[in-house]
Amino acid sequence: MAAEDSDTPRRRMDPRFEALFAEVAPALYAWAELRIRPNLRARLDPQDLVQEVWIRGMQGFTRFDERGVSFRAWAFRIGKNILMEALRATRNDIVDTPGGVTSRMLALERVPQDVTSFTQHLAREESVRAFLDEAGALAEVDRMLVVHCGLEGETCAQAAVKLGISEDAAIKRWQRLKAKLRAETWSRAILGAE
């Protein structure tokens, strides 16, 4: 992700940002695949969301303070904001252009070609596909526990409120799911360290 194409203004890429982003990108892409519902896909593609996180993250990296929050949580917050913007635009039905929200809301023309290639690779990455297959086979509550607790890093108490289940039920289900998922070879790339 270091080199930029000739149509993109030259920026000094912080190698630390690049390394941190590469580490969190598989989880961010998997999260986008699970979070972006089919009715929104025509307006916001998971690869586009990850690319927009890269743009906004790179622009704001000088303000990132690892003492306050992990890079993963910071990147996911950016992703959630992008998703919320797309949902608001859809709800308000303000998009009548052929390009949809993605072309108006996101600044994807600023994404270097190597970042685009990187996100295309993520879409085909075996570990990401295996995770998505596993998550897709789960019951809705379990899948959303994986999203909230495993990817977004929320507590079981926070997830329980969103899912309308008791905290104890969320804790038990998440412990069972986490043990099952951690047994898979791809789990560290997607779920991160404990």
For residues 136 and 99, which has the higher predicted lDDT (pLDDT)? 136
Q: Tell the residue number behind the tokens 């950016």, with chain if given.
A: 78
> DSSP letters along 64-116, please?
--TTTS-HHHHHHHHHHHHHHHHHHHHHHT---STTHHHHHH--GGGS-HHHH
CA 42, CA 62: separation in Å to the nearest integer?
Answer: 33
pLDDT in the model for residue 193 = 62
* Residue 4 banded pLDDT, cuts 50, 70, 90: very low
Q: Which positions ≥6 away from 125 have C-beta within 8 Å?
A: 26, 29
- Provide mean pLDDT across the span 126-148: 91
CA 164, CA 128: separation in Å to the nearest integer?
Answer: 28
* Residue 101 banded pLDDT, cuts 50, 70, 90: very low
pLDDT above 70 for 98? no
Work out the percent of the chain whose per-residue pLDDT is above 70.
76
* DSSP-derived secondary structure letter, 10: P
* Residue 102 banded pLDDT, cuts 50, 70, 90: very low
CA 161, CA 167: separation in Å to the nearest integer?
Answer: 8
pLDDT digits (tens, 9 = 90+) for 19-38: 999 999 999 999 999 998 88
Q: Which positions ≥6 away from 183 have C-beta within 8 Å?
A: none
The whole-model pTM stands at 0.78
Query: Lowest mean pLDDT: which of 59-68, 72-81, 172-181, 183-192?
Result: 183-192
Structure-block tokens of residue 71 = 């890079």
Q: Taking the CA atoms of the chain, what radius of gyration do you get in angstroms?
A: 17
- Full set of structural domains in the chain with CATH: 15-124 (no CATH), 139-191 (1.10.10)
End-to-end CA gap in the chain: 27
Q: Looking only at Cα atoms, what is the longest distance across the chain?
A: 54
Q: Tell the residue number behind the tokens 């996180």, with chain if given.
A: 53
Q: How many residues does the chain have?
A: 194
pLDDT in the model for residue 169 = 97
